Amino acid sequence: MRRRIVRIATPTYTLGSVVLVMDADRTKLLMLRQPPGRRWSLPAGLLNRNEQPVEGARRELAEETGIEADLSELAPADPCAVVHTSGRWVDNVFRLTRDPETTEIIVDGHEVWDAAWHPADALPEMTRATAKLLSHYDLGPLRAADPSAEPPASA
Domain containing residue 50: CATH number: 3.90.79.10
> Which residues, listed in sequence order, are joined to residue 44 by a DSSP beta bridge?
18
- Which pTM was predicted? 0.85
Report, in this order, helix, strand and coil percent for the chain, each rounded to 5.
Answer: 20, 30, 50
In a domain, 155, yes or no: no
Overall domain count for the chain? 1
Q: How far apart are CA 59 and CA 144, in angstroms?
A: 31
pLDDT tens figures, 109-151: 888 999 999 999 999 999 999 999 999 999 999 987 544 434 4
In a domain, 99, yes or no: yes
In a domain, 29, yes or no: yes
Q: What are phi and psi of 139, to 5 degrees?
A: -130, 155
In a domain, 74, yes or no: yes
In a domain, 103, yes or no: yes
Instruction: Print the domain residue range for 120.
Output: 21-135
In a domain, 11, yes or no: no
In a domain, 46, yes or no: yes
